[in-house]
Structure 1
Amino acid sequence: MSISGITSTALSGMRAQTARVGAIASNIANSSTLGYAKLSTSFTSVEPGGVQASVNPTDSDVDPATELTDLIEAEQSYKANAVVFETGAGMWEMLMSIKRD
């Protein structure tokens, strides 16, 4: 996989986790709203590499403890993708400095 492919895959992961956090925030904010349909996030891998998030309403109730656990998981996943993205960007910088010399 190329450096641009690595950074692109990491960026798609960060976008997917951002969508997940948005769904979690909506669930927590509307947990006491009558008739609110809990939002659930599902992930699909895309070619040539990466992930796409889909947010859909479900029939289940909002459990604040589960939402907070999911939020922690989303945070960790976002951070992991950010580290990969930063590493890829650093590799680009090193490659460009070698090319200039």
Structure 2
Amino acid sequence: MASRHEIKCINKTNSTIAHERIERIGGMNGTGTWWSLTQQEAIAGIEEGRWGFYVARGVAAVNVNVATSTYGNKYIKTENDGEQSNNLLSLPECPL
């Protein structure tokens, strides 16, 4: 079973192309240290069943899924929660 992790921040690129907008995702471990993955590492982890990711929205958790662009490029995005069009892109920048 995949371990679930909350995404608390992202690092964006300057691209407007869906599969290139997010460079890295990150969050905090139980020890208080930050973890960080590239978008490609996160996609591989989701597809291999190692990890599941979510974004917290108040008391709700919005799942992160792998999507495929019209040109066949994979990227991550949140499920539609009826409020935010893209919960990932609204997160703050991760510390580097």
TM-score, scaled to structure 1: 0.27
TM-score, scaled to structure 2: 0.28
Say which structure, 1 or 2, has more relative contact order (CA 8 Å, 6+ apart).
1
Quick check: which has more Rg, 1 or 2?
A: 1
